[in-house]
A and B are shown apart, each in its own frame.
Chain A
Amino acid sequence: MPEARAFRIRLGNDPGGRSFLAVLVIAGVLVPLMYFFVPETSALHLSGYTVTLLAKYMSYAMLAIAVDLIWGYCGILSLGHGAFFALGGYAMGMYLMRAIGARGVYGDPVLPDFMVFLNWKELPWFWHGFDQFWFALMMVLLVPGLLALVFGYFAFRSRVSGVYLSIITQALTYALMLAFFRNDMGFGGNNGFTDFKDIAGFSLQSPGTRVVLFLCTVIALGGSFLLCRFVVSSRAGRVIQAVRDAESRARFLGYRVESYKLWVFVLSAVLAGIAGALYVPQIGIINPSEFSPANSIEIVIWVAIGGRGTLYGAAAGAVFVNYAKTYFTAALPSFWLYVLGTLFIVVTLFLPQGIVGAVGAVRRRIARP
């Protein structure tokens, strides 16, 4: 299997990636142990809240990897990736709403609460099928993927690039946000979906489900890292990087630049959708503010802080920034935006390669006497 060998060798060239995977494996083993078997009195015990928090960071990390794939390797700065994340989340949310069944406040066996509240009599057509878990999973992949396909097809074909592409992706997520805020859309208006009960027959409140979802997130994160690693180190990945560095030259060499861009964009959108689908059942809510343009820009800064074009750096950046966010919003709420704003400025001015680049530079300086 030459493919597999090539794959192994390429990962071998990536010590950062290897450390990243090792950390993931360790987390996947230790977190359930510390949650279940370490007594609650011990300092090493993890609460259910912490497990969910870690899972949230990891779904963000997965989203950051998706953004890094297109920005770090293909030079497409999407300011609307939050939209794909939210769409994946909404697809999962629709399943979870249907799974509530008759246990809602109004006790309607078919209609979710907000529809009863709006006095709707029938399920809208696009809600059919979402009572099936497999269908919802398919939609998690299809909806963001198709949107990216259509949007990317038109955008890349007409060679909208650079700043212009960033602006229209931003307009895309802004338009979606406005649309999802409307009650008539049938997605719960500005309250979105919440009060989920169970997933695939298991209660979302139970510790077992919590850990399984956490492990799913770990596996999905590791899997998407490996997949992206595979893509960028494949032959197509070389072309993608060539497009990033000199788009016209790649085109003149005979590569169909727009096809490469399109497929990597769709892949990235699908990964973002999966991240959203993992995020929603664990956090327990999805609403239109996930579509807000500011959210999408924040994702980009995770990648920039971690170090773009490394994949694991993006994941590290996402975890770092979100940990800081959790810490500051609890300890010094009004301080958080100052920190985030300063991070934006400092990183773009002084750390163009992010934390990963800075660490590498320090290491090289130490190695060189």
Chain B
Amino acid sequence: MIWMFRVARLLALTASLLASPLCSAAEDQVLLPLLQQLPAAGYADKQELIRQLAGTGDPRVRAILAALLDGNLVARSSDGRIFVLGSPGDRLRDPLTGADAGTLPESDLAKIGVNNQLRKSLRVALAQFDLADPDASVRQDAVKEMLRAPDARIVAALRARLPHETDASVREAIASGLALADLDSEDASRRLAAIEALGGNLNPDVYNRLTAMLATSADGSPVEADAKVRAAAAQALRSINAARAFYSGLQTLLFGLSQGSILVLAAIGLAITFGVMGVINMAHGELMMLGAYSTYVVQQAMPEHMGASIVVAIPVAFLVSGAVGVAIERGIVRHLYGRPLETLLATFGVSLLLQQAVRDIFSANNRSVITPQWLAGSLDINQALSITYNHLYIIFFTLAVFFLLQLVLRRTRFGLELRAVSQNRAMAKAMGIRTDWIDALTFGMGSGVAGIAGVALSQLTNVGPNLGQSYIVDSFMVVVFGGVGNLWGTQLGGNALGVVNKLLEPVSGAVLAKIFVLVFLILFIQRRPRGLFPQKGRAAES
């Protein structure tokens, strides 16, 4: 969609450039004298000249002002004639006709200087031109620029634009900007109408203005003289505060769910190896790290297709981490069944080996994994509620992984055999299930899911050899909190912990929030050693 706008804009621009030299000879008589005054003018005079130039409304003025803002408007030293410098290179162009005027040595040119104040008015002037731009996002930016310091002229321009505006969000921006300007009106009824128009508006400017209206000035009298307006302002503020509180609560919830989803994603592989198989895999974090590095390698291998690289990386990471997981199971864990503490130590050894291997292969520095376009940016629902896309996607991604795992566990032959082995190994074996195959595949699946988690983490944190270590304690806590052997418990437990963490963060700071959560978990395990959703029945007794 956007490219269509861009093309349309380009066409409009070229059309105006082509048309202008033919039809505006008369206007040149207005513009040229104004332009020729620029080199000699002081900053205050320039201010006035810019105002007059912009006031002509001539479409060519926009390019001239833009050049002035960029420092590309120059005067020839010999006669003071104005040119636009650059594009392409150091060629000069006539500002009005656009005709090429050759080159001149730098010493023969004097740049027309601007100061910060001029830059500000230049931006506003440019914005006024952009207000008629066919691209709604350009118009939106223009409105924003103009509303920074609205004066009577700008207000008039915006008011003139409002009836012609077609885009809803631009209309909204203009209307609230005009209402804000109306708050300064002498007429109390207009102020009152403006306040009514601003009710529920989440723009921070509105909030600040309304608060200022309710303040008392130095001599004790209220800033706003009219009592009715004051009451309306107080009412509007209350509604704004309520809306803000609601949206910030929603935002906390969303970020909490997103952080919880990261925890769930990190823990869900562990929930399989630890929960279903009873194996403590301390190398789980490093399997996630391998997943993150797989993403990095995939991106290196297909630099042309960054957007697709993440999608490709998911199966790759699953296979890489899964294969390493199967190797760990066949090589080490298999010999240690029934001795969980020994498994813990041996797999910790594996984690050290993997860390050092990655350090030797990829160096100890963090690798940069690129975030593809479709994951970057954020979804701005309104001015009080916005969530970055990667935080939003991870919630859905985790749910997808979760339900896929449930499907495998509940609806496939492999899942059936897996559950049989975890409930009663000897009986399963007697029924003809190849338990050692199932063990290896289960461990491989848990490890593969860790790899997938690593792909997601590569979009959220630094990819380095220590990536896994920072998640291992958290993941264990989530599994134990949710109840061992229960994927639903892991899902709920992880999300609950994420939300609690985010709720505490504004009160106590991030680190302290994490400490509180850890202490809470330690105490929780004392009360319910089997977690939120303990396993029931025979499997729980072993």
Contacts and interface: CB of A to CB of B under 8 A. Distances in A.
A163 B340 contact: yes
B346 A175 contact: no
A357 interface: no
Interface string B499-542: 00000000000011011001101110111010000000000000
Interface residues of A, number: 42
Given A171-B522, A175-B518, A349-B335, A163 B280 contact: yes
Q: Is the interface of B mostly helix, strand, loop or mixed?
A: helix
Interface in B348-401: 348-353, 355-356, 359-360
Interface string B438-480: 0000000000000000000000000000000100110011001
Question: Which of A171, A297, A338 has the largest number of chain B CB atoms within 10 A?
Answer: A171
By Cβ-Cβ distance, the 3 closest A-B pairs, closest first, are A344-B349, A341-B352, A337-B356
A344 B480 contact: no
A141 to B, nearest CB: 23
A158 B352 contact: no
Given A77-B341, A171-B473, A175-B515, 7 more contacts: A163-B340, A166-B280, A166-B344, A175-B519, A293-B472, A340-B349, A344-B346
Interface residues of B, number: 41
A214 interface: no
Interface string A157-184: 1111011101110111011001101100
Given A338-B353, A341-B349, A341-B353, A158 B477 contact: no
A352 B343 CA distance: 12
A304 interface: yes
A334 interface: yes
A294 B469 contact: yes
A155 B526 contact: yes
B332 A349 contact: yes
B342 interface: yes
Contact of B352 (A162, A174, A344, A352): A344
Q: Is the interface of A mostly helix, strand, loop or mixed?
A: helix
16 contacts: A151-B522, A167-B480, A171-B476, A175-B515, A179-B512, A182-B511, A293-B472, A294-B469, A297-B282, A337-B352, A340-B349, A341-B350, A342-B349, A345-B349, A348-B336, A349-B335
A182 B527 CA distance: 29
A142 interface: no
Given A175-B519, A294-B469, A168 B525 contact: yes
A352 B336 CA distance: 11
Contacts of B349: 301, 340-345, 348
A154 interface: yes
A318 interface: no
A178 B469 CA distance: 14
Contact of B341 (A157, A166, A293, A337): A166
A300 interface: yes
Contact of B522 (A172, A179, A293): A172
B341 A301 contact: no
Nearest to B466: A294
B518 A174 contact: yes
A345 B515 CA distance: 32
B335 A293 contact: no
Contacts of B332: 345, 349
B8 interface: no
Contacts of A178: 511, 514-515, 518
Most buried by B among A77, A172, A337, A343: A337
Contact of B521 (A163, A171, A179): A171
B346 A181 contact: no
Contacts of B356: 334, 337-338, 341
